[in-house]
């Protein structure tokens, strides 16, 4: 049975969907004011993996990932560029889709945009005001009254006293308490007309947190199975989502017997670059599209899933080269093996090992370790058994979106961005010359050709029958 680590309970729990056989999952998506970076790639790849495994396990999944298309950063960038908000956001939505397609990821079933859900956000804010959990301040902003919501801090494990001690925002403007957070921002005179909407509290725009409550509840209901996102969203974003969603539903009388907003909270770990936090200020910020100029998308996916989704990972070109070497091992096992592409035998011990790993909180490192061991068995096996094992290897890898290429194509492609590498035609010419040298008993020349090719990143493998295969190292 599938076990999921639930951030809310800080433990692995047996997954029991609200509706048998069906899963409703919401993941916090991108704020579209710039190109997506490798931190975004990890979120997209991790939850693509989760959806694939849930579906492979027989669940019907409704996968929602939102788009934040109204935000202070978006407004500032649009003003800097002198363009409408909609033009800026559409350009980067298109870029995000291009990156996702290049990575070979599934599209979410729903991809709601915040600006299409203003009415739903206002509805939740109105209910919170009725429940006396929100108020309008003197500056026109509508804020959530954190101290009035019972259980605030359960997701992050933070007490109100701890939060208060760490809060440096002075009480001023419209807030009654520094812990309170904004639900509706009053429009400022200098802000463009396309950044404001009419509301019962005056013209303005939604706060960041309220948009996810509105979109998830509208598309999945007020109680759904899984909510995911990066570890950095655990507090305050997801903590605030719980407060405003359950506060609107239950008011101040909310108690532990009430159905929670979300049953299972999943958070993927951070990405570090050379053991430092990735940030633009440190100059260690990598866009997906730049990384894919030098590395195949499958290499980036493999790199991300070699680590457990909850673990932090360190990004570097060396790590990606190591990931590519791992894929080369797997593809080499499949090369020139007839594969039927039939469904894998569910009674196979390899299937059990792989399935047990994935059902243990999506333990992709252990699942990938099983693939490597299976690849070794393929290499040792003969004839019919070899074909059956190879079919199992490819079938299991497909559930993680790996081994999707023809093995020869992948092995001969090498890394992207290599401009000085030998062409396939030149390599074949050298192989022909080497075969000729061997036929003439000039083994020294044959060895020199092999060595010269190896120095240029080309590995030769002699097979029975005088056949020589090659791949890039």
Answer with the residue of higher pLDDT: 163 or 14.
14
User: Could you tell me the CATH superfamily of domain 3-134+144-155+209-271?
Assistant: HUPs (3.40.50.620)
Could you give the 3-state DSSP secondary structure of residue 62? Answer: strand
The whole-number pLDDT of residue 467 equals 72
Answer with the residue of higher pLDDT: 469 or 199.
199
CB 286 within 8 A of CB 34: no
Query: pLDDT tens across 218-247, in order?
Result: 999 999 999 999 999 999 999 999 999 999
- For residue 256, pLDDT over 50 is answered with yes
Helix 383-398 / helix 364-380 crossing angle, nearest 10 deg: 160
Q: Which residues sit opposite 110 in a β-bridge?
A: 64
Report how far apart, in Å, the C-alpha atoms of 245 and of each of 33, 98, 111, 351 are.
27, 33, 20, 40
CA distance 330 to 390: 10
CA distance 306 to 311: 10
Going by pLDDT thresholds of 50, 70 and 90, the confidence category of residue 418 is very low
The mean pLDDT of the chain is 91
Answer with the residue of higher pLDDT: 368 or 461.
368
Burial 59-75 (b: 16+ CB within 10 A, else e): bebbbbbbbbbbbeebb
Which CATH code is given to the segment(s) 293-413?
1.20.120.640
- For residue 460, pLDDT over 80 is answered with no
Q: What is the pTM of this model?
A: 0.90
- For residue 60, pLDDT over 90 is answered with yes
- CA 443, distance to chain mean position in Å, is 51
Helix 118-130 / helix 208-220 crossing angle, nearest 10 deg: 100
Report how far apart, in Å, the C-alpha atoms of 435 and of each of 19, 205, 337, 467 are.
64, 72, 24, 9
Q: Among residues 185, 244, 184, 256, which one has the least CA distance to residue 217? A: 244
The whole-number pLDDT of residue 278 equals 78
E-strand stretches of 300-390: 313-315
């Amino acid at each position: 049975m599938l076990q999921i680590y639930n951030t809310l309970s800080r433990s692995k729990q047996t997954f029991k969907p609200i509706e048998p056989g069906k899963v409703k999952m919401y993941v916090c998506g991108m704020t579209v004011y710039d190109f997506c970076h490798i931190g975004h790639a990890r979120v997209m790849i991790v939850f693509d993996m989760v959806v694939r495994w849930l579906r492979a396990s027989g669940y019907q999944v409704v996968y929602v990932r939102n788009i934040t298309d109204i935000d202070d950063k978006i407004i500032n960038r649009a003003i800097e560029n002198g363009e409408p908000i909609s033009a800026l956001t559409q350009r980067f939505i298109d870029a995000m889709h291009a990156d996702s397609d290049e990575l070979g990821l599934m599209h979410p079933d729903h991809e709601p945009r915040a600006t299409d859900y203003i009415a739903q956000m206002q509805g939740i804010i109105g209910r919170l005001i009725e429940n006396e959990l929100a108020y309008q301040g003197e500056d026109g902003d509508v804020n959530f009254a954190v101290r009035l919501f019972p259980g605030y801090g359960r997701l992050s494990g933070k007490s109100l006293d701890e939060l208060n001690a760490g809060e440096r925002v002075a009480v001023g403007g419209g807030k009654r308490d520094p812990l309170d957070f904004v639900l509706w921002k009053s429009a400022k005179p200098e802000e463009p007309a396309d950044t404001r909407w009419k509301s019962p509290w005056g013209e303005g725009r939604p706060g960041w947190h309220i948009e996810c409550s509105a979109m998830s509840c509208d598309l999945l209901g007020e109680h759904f199975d899984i909510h995911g996102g990066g570890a950095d969203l655990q507090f305050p974003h997801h903590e605030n989502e719980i407060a405003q969603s359950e506060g609107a539903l239950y008011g101040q009388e909310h108690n532990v017997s009430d159905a929670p907003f979300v049953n299972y909270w999943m958070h993927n770990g951070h990405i570090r670059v050379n053991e430092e936090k990735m940030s633009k200020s440190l100059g260690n910020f990598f866009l997906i599209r730049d990384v894919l100029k030098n590395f195949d998308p499958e290499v980036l996916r493999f790199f991300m899933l070699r680590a457990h989704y909850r673990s932090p990972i360190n990004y570097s070109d060396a790590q990606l080269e190591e990931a590519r070497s791992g894929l080369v091992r797997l593809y080499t096992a499949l090369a020139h093996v007839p594969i039927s592409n039939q469904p894998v035998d569910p009674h196979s011990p390899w299937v059990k090992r792989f399935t047990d790993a994935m059902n243990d909180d999506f333990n992709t490192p252990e699942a990938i370790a099983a693939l490597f061991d299976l690849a070794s068995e393929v290499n040792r096996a003969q004839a019919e058994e070899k074909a059956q094992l190879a079919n199992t290897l490819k079938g299991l890898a497909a559930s993680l979106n790996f081994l999707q290429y023809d093995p020869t194509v992948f092995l001969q492609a090498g890394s992207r961005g290599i401009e000085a590498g030998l062409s396939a035609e030149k390599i074949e010419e050298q192989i022909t010359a080497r075969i000729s040298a061997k036929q003439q008993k000039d083994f020294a020349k044959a060895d020199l050709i092999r060595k010269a090719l190896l120095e240029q990143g080309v590995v030769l493998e002699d097979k029975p029958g005088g056949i020589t295969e090659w791949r890039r190292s």
